[in-house]
Amino acid sequence: MSQSTQPDQPTKVTRAAARRVAIIGARGHVGAELLRLLDQHPHFEVVLVSSRNGGVPIHSEVPGLTKIDLAFEAVTPDDLPTLAERHIDLWVLALPNGHSEPWVTAIEAHAPASIIVDLSTDHRFDTRWQYGLPEVHRPKLLGAKRISNPGCYATGAQLALYPLLDLLDGPAHIFGVSGYSGAGTTPSPRNDPAQLADNLMPYSLTGHAHETEIRWQLGHKVFFMPHVAPFFRGIVLTVSAQLKRLATLDELAQRYTKAYQYEPLVTVQKDIPFPRDAAHRHGVTIGGLSLEPTMSHVVVCATLDNLLKGAATQCLQNMNLAAGIDEFAGLRPFL
């Protein structure tokens, strides 16, 4: 895996930065968060926002926007010959899993020079696409044309495990709890506040897509157990693992400090982080590092906002890197 690079200075590539942005499938929770970030972005201009309910003003669905004054458009991949005339530099696909490929095919046929960032699972295992976890893969994302945005659980789990990766012995066990916004807007028991009230709902306890994603990226076996809680946004992950050798708590803590000392969106703390404190924050907090030294058993916790660093914030990092501008453009007011 690539080592983190220091992000304090704006990163540059030799090609010109992209400017004109289209968001395909923007009426969901993540699309709204991305629009709020792009509304204040110093370099990107949103020129197309798609939804099946075309004609609805964006500000009626996403209040508080001050610069983006558009209406949703009901467009399909068949419209790419016309859409390409808008000279769109960067396409964000915020579509349900399994729906991005027709758009990718059309964009590559009619606007092949443009950048695509896919928020779905569709390209996370495609080696022709770059996997967009900047804290680990930053050099490969600079100037990339095809980026697959990581999953929300997978983001927190990988960052929690990455500093210990060479010490792990056997599978890591990940207990994850997400707010119900992670279940999307299509009605289901996992986003129904009435069914979630005073409840914790386990689901997909084997074979979850993020379990496969974490294994694929880390090259290490993990077992992941996801749950949904009654709160709207935020994730907490409790990660338990066995180490190959005896270690001290100070040694392990130093690994986290060293890995993330230059990462403004990763906070390492001693105390256990809570999901309520992650809501509306743009980074990941890792803490509660605990060690049973005689058994070489380590536990660490991570929290993040599933809609932000778990999706929209990370998407913006990837957009910036692909465009060759400051990775944290549009985010610096929140750092």
Task: Encode 160-172: b = buried (16+ Cβ within 10 Å), e = exposed.
Answer: bbbbbbebbeeeb
Among 22, 115, 116, 152, the one annotated catalytic: 152
Q: What are phi and psi of 246, to 5 degrees?
A: -65, 145
Do 8 and 262 meet the contact criterion of CB atoms below 8 Å apart? yes
Q: Is 186 exposed, middle or buried (0-12, 13-18, 19+ CB in 10 A)?
A: exposed
Annotation says 152 is catalytic: yes
Q: Strands 115-118 and 172-178, how do they pair? A: unpaired
Token pair for 169: 């012995």
Q: Is 31 exposed, middle or buried (0-12, 13-18, 19+ CB in 10 A)?
A: buried
CA angle 134, 240, 270 (to 5 degrees): 70
Would you please indicate which residues are annotated as catalytic (active-site) residues?
A: 152
